[in-house]
Structure 1
Amino acid sequence: MAASAQDSPDLSAPPVPARRPRASAKGEQTRARLIAAARTLLSGGMSERFTTRNVAALCGVSHGMCHYHFQDRTDLVLAVVADIRPEWIHPLEEAVSAPGPFAERAERVVELLGRPEGAELSQLHSALHWHALNDSRVRESLEAEYRRWRACFVALFQVLAQERGGGVDPRPLGEAVAAAVDGLAAAESLGSEVDSGAVLRTLISTLAAGTRPGG
């Protein structure tokens, strides 16, 4: 019996893409535990012992299970880079993007950056920099994170440019503050007693004052 037109497939219709299976809740939990174990090893100053086998052992899963979620140790490091983003980049982005004039946003930024960085996060940054020196994928990923971080300071001075009605190039001003923050963080990591809040407040206000017409 010949097939009717209603039964014939519509060859003109675009193919329906196959739906990817959703990761199970248990799989997501295992992945999160592996990232937590990776953070523990990295923040403990044990970069030389940072292997997928040691991460799996600390997590309490098989080595094969670790490789099911992460191809190699670089994938694990990249997962840690993404995992700490909400702890240092998102708060800065929120401080800059929240409503208010330049002076108010700048004060939020100063207050945020004036808080001491947690020991774990500080150790993680050091470990990630070490891996970046030895792995191009980590270096590219970490540089992308820092570009996003530096963009926050440029966005801050973009608000000032809008308030002043032009004549202000926010990029060099924002980059200058970002470089100063990096220097302060390095000094603090060595135990130097520096009032970061006071330094940043003075720097930002001085840069802002220098952009005034005739300044």
Structure 2
Amino acid sequence: MATRSKDVRPSDPAPNPEPGGVIRAAKPRQSAKGEQTRARLIAAARNLLAGDGLAPFTTRNVAALSGVTHGMCHYHFANRTDLIVAVIEDIRPEWIAPLQDAVDSPGTFEQRADRVIALLTKPEAADLSRLHSSLHWFALNDDRVRESLEAEYRLWRSCFVALFQTLADELGGGLDPRPLGEALASAADGLAAIQSLDADVDAPSVMRTLVRGLAAGASNA
């Protein structure tokens, strides 16, 4: 008799037929234990990706680090790429959500810009910095990873566009916020790279100069 994985609960009773008499089977819902196992695997994958590179990033090593069987790892993630994509989604609250909050919270353009500058000039945690570097490397060699990471960066850049949309609204329209937002996003990304090599760079002054220069140029256009 076939056994059922402990990480999945039985599906709900068969649903009522759809119009035409077609019955679609309900998808099994993941149990709390299954969700915990998945979270442990993602955390282990993140640690390996952000590590010193001595341990290869494989599903077998992820399983060992998280304390689950290799088979259970493949039950939740079909392959290594699935794990990497899950990590990309998992870190969104750490680098994109705070930027969204800084832009979307009430205030003038200047107030929102100050929040964005304060956020962008905080030193990035070392593990997150290493993790981003590792993800970029995998993106060069895996199309699915690249597509997933590109989607996250589009979301990240859209925050800067939204910031300058606030300025456009204050000026009464006629201002295209996209090139301004894209320019600031590119500069912020470059500044992060510089900071990783030179801790003495005055990041707040650089960011304030960039934002004020872009805003002044837009206002005088």
When the two structures are superposed, what TM-score results if normalisation uses the length of structure 1? 0.90
When Rg is computed on C-alpha atoms for both structures, the one with the higher figure is 1
Supply the distance in 2 between the matched residues of 1:11 and 1:146 (Cα, whole angstroms): 40
Which protein has greater RCO, CA pairs closer than 8 Å, 6+ apart?
1
Partner of residue 119, structure 1: 126
Counterpart Cα distance in 1 of 2:73 and 2:61: 10
Among 151, 157, 163, which residue is 1:156 paired with? 163
User: For residue 4 of structure 1, what is the aligned residue in structure 2?
Assistant: none
Asked if residue 175 in structure 1 is aligned to residue 186 in structure 2, the reply is no
Task: Verify the 8 A CA contact 1:34 1:56 in the aligned structure 2.
Answer: yes
Tell me the residue number matched to 1:5: none
AA aligned to 1:145 is: E
* Residue in structure 2 matched with residue 54 of structure 1 by the alignment: 61
1:194: how far off? 1.3
CA distance in 1, matches of 2:209, 2:124: 21
Offset, 1:10: 9.1
Matches within 5 A, 1:90-105: 90-105=97-112
One-letter amino acid matched to 1:56: A
Unpaired runs of at least 5, structure 2: 1-15
**Maintained 8 Å contact 1:52/1:73:** yes
- The answer for the alignment partner of 2:36 in structure 1 is 29
CA distance in 2, matches of 1:201, 1:34: 40
Aligned to 2:153: 146
Number of aligned residues: 206
**CA separation in 2, counterparts of 1:47 and 1:167?**
54
Residue 190 of structure 1: aligned partner: 197
Indicate the residue corresponding to 2:84 in structure 1: 77
- Please give the alpha-carbon distance, in whole angstroms, between the structure 2 residues aligned to 1:108 and 1:130: 31
The verdict on how the C-alpha distance between 1:12 and 1:76 changes in structure 2, with shifts beyond 3 A counting, is: closer
Alignment of 1:197-212 (within 5 A): 197-212=204-219
Aligned mate of 2:72, from 59, 65, 68:
65
CA deviation string 1:142-174 (max 9, x = no partner): 011001000100010011001001221111111
Deviations 1:44-64 (A, max 9, x none): 132870000010111111110
For 2:45, the aligned partner's letter is A
Q: Is the 8 A contact 1:47 1:127 kept in 2?
A: no
Tell me the secondary structure at the aligned position of residue 210 of structure 1: helix
Instruction: Look up the match of 1:3.
Output: none
- Which runs of no fewer than 5 residues in structure 1 stay unpaired? 1-8
**Letter paired with 1:197:** P
Please state how far the C-alpha of 1:20 moved relative to its aligned partner: 2.2
Percentage of matched positions with identical amino acids? 66
1:212 counterpart SS class: helix
- SS in structure 2 of the partner of residue 49 of structure 1: coil
Which letter maps to 1:90? Answer: A
Structure 1 residue matching 2:113: 3-state secondary structure? helix
Match of 1:197, SS?
A: helix
Work out whether residues 17 and 23 of structure 2, in 8 Å CA contact, stay in contact via their aligned partners in 1.
no
- What secondary structure is seen at the aligned counterpart in 1 of 2:30? coil
Tell me how far apart the structure 1 counterparts of residues 35 and 17 of structure 2 sit (CA, whole Å).
Answer: 39
